[in-house]
Chains A and B, each alone.
Chain A
Amino acid sequence: MKPSDTGFSKENFELLIDGKLPWEEVKKAIRLSPKDADRFEKYIEILQEKMPWEDRILLRISDHLYIVAKPGGERGVTGGDRGVTEGDRVVKCDCGQEFGDYRINWKLSCRVYVRATDEAIAEVITIPEARHNTDLVEMREFYCPGCYALLGVEVVPPGYPPIFEMFPDLDSFYREWLGSPLQDEHPDWFQERTSEKPAAWIKEA
């Protein structure tokens, strides 16, 4: 570990990502002004080294999930259950499990468990008075079908559409904020497509 009074070392950054950086060093990172301009590039480099797969990480969207570029030339046209095409941007777990097109809420490619009773919620909220009113809300858990990591939790009324927590504008980010445009830029990349998946399901049904 190196002192970070004048910058933020890669070594300290790795410790921060792993949740091991001492608080005094974290505070120095918080106080950094200006922040290190190459933070994102360092982040991707560190994360890429950790992954057991080779796909290029475009963005990390949670502890386990990444938007990655599948190798290939032209931008693929995908959707729903039609699988992954070369050139796609897909959500991928660090275990290697893929969740399809990032424009579709990845929760629709998860395994789902619903805690709809007080008894089921008691497994994760051990103080009875603190539990939810199960007449009005249920607790949904979304697991990775590959490694069964818990990827997301929702506490919502039954019937509530799964919440698409983050839909990044990747083209604008890379072109206008990083100054390094992605090669497969296209306005379609920032058009949400979540409803295509249930539309495909209903046809199958």
Chain B
Amino acid sequence: MGICHHDKTLKEIVDEREHSFQETGFAYGLERLELVEEDPAKFMRFQMRLVASCINARESAKLISANPMSMIQGELLFMLANAEGDVISASYGLAGHIQCMPFIVRNIANLGFEDDPGIHEGDIFSCNDPMYGPPHNADCYTFLPVFYKGELVSWTVGLNHIVDVGGIQPGGLGVISPNIFTDGFTYPPTKTGANFKQHKWWELHWKRRTRTEMFNVLDDKMRVAGVASLHDRIQDIVEEFGTEYYRQGLKEIIERERRILVERIRSQAIPGKYKYLQLSAVNYKGTLGKLWPASNRNWIIHKTGELNIRTDGTLLTDLEGLTSEAEFHANAYEPAVRMLTSLGMWPMFAYTETINSSLLYMTDWNIPPGSMFNPQNPYAGTVMGLGVIAGYIYLFHNCLSLAYFSRGFLEETFPADGTTIGYGAAGTLEDGFQWAGGDMSLITCQSEGATPYHDGFDAAVCSPNPAADIGETEAVEFLLPTQVNLGKKLIPDFCGHGKFRGGLGIGMLQLVNKPGRSLILNAFAATDGMGACALGRSGGYPGTNDIVVFAHDTNIRETLEKGGTYPRDFVEMNQWIKEGKLRAETVESYKGPTPSIPCRDGDLFATAAGSRGGWGDVLERDYDLIQNDIKYGWITKETAETVYGARVDEEGRVQREASDQLRHEMRERRKQRSVDAKDWWIQERRKVLKKDWHEDIRNMYSDCLKYKKFRDEFTGMWQLPEDYNIE
């Protein structure tokens, strides 16, 4: 006898959910939405009660946390799933996670949890193992079954991004980990508590397996408090509306919203195929030594994708040609892909009354086995697969923006590029106190890409989280005792240029202050010198690279003690060093992630990210816009002239006639130095035949040519013999 309706088992209802959709094309086979049709006002009241309950759980519970990412940067989510695992409603926050819970429930059903360890009122389950649904081990899930009169009617779920996962690198976003054993503390679905209380042994795991026990134990308590309070609210709602209404209502929410999403695509987009590419790199060569020989190399990560907007309004995303799985940190599983990429779907078409898993019913994926997002090695490292998946958020931003542009819905375009930086920190203070932490403020707040009708807004969006919030610098400084912020600001010229330019990237500069016995910093970033996107929009330039600069052993303290001005970002810091106003013994620069870098008192740590792409030809940019940029200091005179062909006088006014002439000359230069595509193709084909590329490029092509779709495209373009291969 099972715990679900009609005494069915959890596995039976999960299987029925999948079969009924496959057979009918409607979620739960619902051709009619009876409750919606009979009393829409009542249904709306019902749905809004569910939404309010989730938001209430989040807003109350987060006060228990001490983790700044949860408290003030919105890196958490509370949600309600039905018994089958479909998420019906969620709070604000990390919205993408609603995609994962159906996978978790399916997995615990298949694992027979109903029999062992059993699923009972008050049980607490925990999971952060990506093989079973969560996207990576930094996102820790806690969930409770909700029973009503002995029937499993729902799950309440809470999760947040923890500060440190106990991996080979400090923090939650490590960029070195050859396998699951170096990823850190990873737990498959586990019953960790009963009677609405965690077992005492569970706390020991946080204390012994991670570096930030204080944050992580409180985060766990926060999640339990949230799901327990949500559990009680849901029981009240079932009591009020009745079990039949509740059970049926949750299913109708999913089917109704599936229909809304499909109709939105049909009414705003254009059916067809849209190509996307972003590149990044994993650079392990020389880092891991002899311990992991298969990891002693570099990879160019080939994030290719094709969005198929099908005539029925559903979407198929084809990742054939994606880099193969490898012994690095960047592998991932389908739930992670669906989770993070949904963050490109919410703003583009999936906004409805609430966020829920209706997306699962209108989006299909082809993720080839053996690719890095469908690893066949069960011990694949996944600690930062999300860093690579994040590039695919923008597949939806950019492909759908092009579709909306073509359909005439320019105001719905929302292009973006993959650029972002976070960092982890760990150290031992002078008195022996060991600590670790991290900051994601350049991830949780970014600028916007240019659209076909305006420049990207600055510091206005967050791709991984609909609730953008850069957080409070003071709170981050309090929790990261060695990091003193000297500046956090927009950086002039730091954008992809175009007729409309991208929003400016944000930079910050920190002073390392009294780290004591030791401190290491490691930055996670998105671009790796490959740019923020491989494609510009409509002739605009794509966003540029993320930047990390360490200046070691500086004399910045002398400058600060004197008073007066001091550098506030990497541009100013480098300028000060160049001009001799600041001394630094060594300077390390990166265009992407860094290994763990030891730092000492007086070092400077600069990061900058979020340089988003432009739209349209730079030579068509309105002179008034350029003049405005000069006025506010967003674009320098040099860039106005070099990039935009605008001559600017001493007062910052664009000289229009002189600029017209300069633009004419620049167009002539385009004419003189470009060649016909055919001539370019002939030259390029010779190089392809010679295979005379950088080792990393050769490795990338060698791998990707194993996938037929990319191989056909590549050999077709260059007219290569059938046996063309790269060793």
B638 interfacial contact with A, CB 8 Å: yes
Q: Given the complex of chains A and B, what is the CA–CA distance between A125 and B639 in angstroms?
A: 8
CB-nearest residue of chain A relative to B536?
Answer: A153
Interface string of A117-149 (1 = CB under 8 A from B): 000000111110111110111000111010011
Residue of B407, B453, B541, B677 near A109 (CB, 8 A) is B677
Q: Given the complex of chains A and B, what is the CA–CA distance between A27 and B273 in angstroms?
A: 29
A165 interfacial contact with B, CB 8 Å: yes
CB-nearest residue of chain A relative to B277?
Answer: A163
Q: Which of A13-21, A48-56, A69-77, A83-91 interfaces with chain B?
A: A13-21
B362 to chain A, nearest CB (A): 16
Contact present for B675 and A111 (CB under 8 Å): yes
Residue of B412, B533, B642, B716 near A194 (CB, 8 A) is B716
Residue of B311, B500, B671, B682 near A169 (CB, 8 A) is B311
Q: Given the complex of chains A and B, what is the CA–CA distance between A109 and B273 in angstroms?
A: 20
Given the interface contacts A123-B643, A127-B544, A156-B534, does A150 sit within 8 Å of B275 by beta carbon? no
Residue of A129, A149, A198 near B617 (CB, 8 A) is A149
Given the interface contacts A130-B611, A150-B617, A166-B274, does A202 sit within 8 Å of B535 by beta carbon? no
Interface string of A175-197 (1 = CB under 8 A from B): 01100000000000010101100
Q: Given the complex of chains A and B, what is the CA–CA distance between A154 and B499 in angstroms?
A: 17
Q: Given the complex of chains A and B, what is the CA–CA distance between A59 and B404 in angstroms?
A: 11
Contact present for B454 and A26 (CB under 8 Å): yes
B586 interfacial contact with A, CB 8 Å: no
- CB neighbours (8 Å) of A165 from chain B are 274-275, 402, 535
Contact present for A129 and B549 (CB under 8 Å): yes
B537 to chain A, nearest CB (A): 8
Contact present for B542 and A155 (CB under 8 Å): yes
Q: Given the complex of chains A and B, what is the CA–CA distance between A192 and B452 in angstroms?
A: 27
B529 to chain A, nearest CB (A): 3
Contact present for A172 and B271 (CB under 8 Å): yes
B618 to chain A, nearest CB (A): 7
B218 to chain A, nearest CB (A): 38
B698 to chain A, nearest CB (A): 10
- CB neighbours (8 Å) of B636 from chain A are 126
Contact present for A129 and B534 (CB under 8 Å): no
Q: Which of B165-173, B206-214, B687-695 interfaces with chain A?
A: B687-695
CB-nearest residue of chain B relative to A137?
Answer: B530
B570 interfacial contact with A, CB 8 Å: yes
A3 interfacial contact with B, CB 8 Å: no
Contact present for B406 and A59 (CB under 8 Å): yes
Contact present for B494 and A130 (CB under 8 Å): yes
Chain A residues touching B, range: 35 or more
Q: Given the complex of chains A and B, what is the CA–CA distance between A61 and B406 in angstroms?
A: 6
- CB neighbours (8 Å) of B535 from chain A are 152-155, 163, 165
CB-nearest residue of chain B relative to A196?
Answer: B716
Contact present for B687 and A111 (CB under 8 Å): no
Residue of B271, B493, B680 near A126 (CB, 8 A) is B493
Contact present for A157 and B274 (CB under 8 Å): no
Contact present for B454 and A23 (CB under 8 Å): yes
A55 to chain B, nearest CB (A): 17
CB-nearest residue of chain A relative to B268?
Answer: A35
- CB neighbours (8 Å) of B497 from chain A are 124
A202 to chain B, nearest CB (A): 4
Contact present for B619 and A131 (CB under 8 Å): no
Interface string of A94-123 (1 = CB under 8 A from B): 000000000000011111111000000001
B300 to chain A, nearest CB (A): 6
Residue of A126, A136, A198 near B681 (CB, 8 A) is A198
Interface string of B578-598 (1 = CB under 8 A from A): 000000000001010000000
Residue of B403, B410, B682, B697 near A158 (CB, 8 A) is B697
Q: Given the complex of chains A and B, what is the CA–CA distance between A31 and B667 in angstroms?
A: 39
A5 interfacial contact with B, CB 8 Å: no
Q: Given the complex of chains A and B, what is the CA–CA distance between A141 and B363 in angstroms?
A: 33
Residue of B277, B539, B685, B717 near A153 (CB, 8 A) is B539
A59 to chain B, nearest CB (A): 5
B residues 241-281 with Cβ under 8 Å of A? Answer: 266-268, 270-275, 277, 279, 281
A82 interfacial contact with B, CB 8 Å: no
- CB neighbours (8 Å) of B680 from chain A are 112, 114
Residue of B500, B529, B685 near A132 (CB, 8 A) is B529
Q: Given the complex of chains A and B, what is the CA–CA distance between A59 and B402 in angstroms?
A: 11
B713 interfacial contact with A, CB 8 Å: yes
Interface string of B501-528 (1 = CB under 8 A from A): 0000000000000000000000000001
Q: Given the complex of chains A and B, what is the CA–CA distance between A190 and B271 in angstroms?
A: 11
Total interface residues on B, CB under 8 Å, equals 97
Most chain B CB within a 10 A radius of its CB, from A19, A43, A135, A195: A19
B31 interfacial contact with A, CB 8 Å: no
A134 to chain B, nearest CB (A): 9
Q: Given the complex of chains A and B, what is the CA–CA distance between A61 and B275 in angstroms?
A: 13
Interface string of B544-557 (1 = CB under 8 A from A): 11010100000000
Q: Given the complex of chains A and B, what is the CA–CA distance between A164 and B491 in angstroms?
A: 33
Residue of B453, B673, B687, B693 near A26 (CB, 8 A) is B453
Contact present for A131 and B545 (CB under 8 Å): yes
B150 interfacial contact with A, CB 8 Å: no
Contact present for A132 and B453 (CB under 8 Å): no
B633 interfacial contact with A, CB 8 Å: no
B700 interfacial contact with A, CB 8 Å: yes
- CB neighbours (8 Å) of A190 from chain B are 272
A71 to chain B, nearest CB (A): 22
Given the interface contacts A130-B547, A158-B687, A172-B311, does A136 sit within 8 Å of B281 by beta carbon? yes
Q: Given the complex of chains A and B, what is the CA–CA distance between A202 and B717 in angstroms?
A: 11
Contact present for A112 and B539 (CB under 8 Å): no
CB-nearest residue of chain A relative to B412?
Answer: A30
Contact present for A159 and B701 (CB under 8 Å): yes
B232 to chain A, nearest CB (A): 35
- CB neighbours (8 Å) of B409 from chain A are 35, 39
Interface string of B592-625 (1 = CB under 8 A from A): 0000000000000000000100011111101000
Q: Given the complex of chains A and B, what is the CA–CA distance between A44 and B591 in angstroms?
A: 43
Contact present for B539 and A63 (CB under 8 Å): yes
Given the interface contacts A126-B638, A127-B494, A155-B542, does A42 sit within 8 Å of B408 by beta carbon? yes
Residue of A21, A126, A152, A205 near B639 (CB, 8 A) is A126
B residues 675-727 with Cβ under 8 Å of A? Answer: 675-678, 680-682, 684-685, 687-688, 693-694, 696-697, 700-701, 713-714, 716-719
Contact present for B279 and A157 (CB under 8 Å): yes
B238 interfacial contact with A, CB 8 Å: no
A62 interfacial contact with B, CB 8 Å: yes
Contact present for B677 and A158 (CB under 8 Å): no
B residues 461-507 with Cβ under 8 Å of A? Answer: 491, 493-494, 497, 499-500
- CB neighbours (8 Å) of B544 from chain A are 125, 127, 130-132
Q: Given the complex of chains A and B, what is the CA–CA distance between A205 and B694 in angstroms?
A: 28
Contact present for A143 and B674 (CB under 8 Å): yes
B335 interfacial contact with A, CB 8 Å: no
Give A residues with C-beta under 8 Å from B.
Answer: 13, 16-17, 19, 21, 23, 26, 29-30, 34-35, 37, 39-40, 42-44, 59-64, 107-114, 123-127, 129-133, 135-137, 141-143, 145, 148-159, 161-170, 172-173, 176-177, 190, 192, 194-195, 198-199, 201-202, 205
Q: 12 A–B contact pairs at CB < 8 A?
A: A13-B408, A137-B531, A155-B536, A159-B697, A164-B275, A165-B402, A166-B403, A173-B272, A177-B266, A177-B267, A190-B272, A195-B717
Besides A39-B408, A143-B674, 18 other CB < 8 A contacts? A16-B411, A60-B405, A60-B406, A61-B406, A63-B615, A112-B676, A123-B642, A127-B494, A129-B574, A129-B589, A130-B544, A132-B531, A150-B619, A158-B697, A177-B271, A192-B273, A195-B719, A198-B685
The 3 closest A-B pairs by CB, nearest first: A43-B408, A153-B536, A133-B529
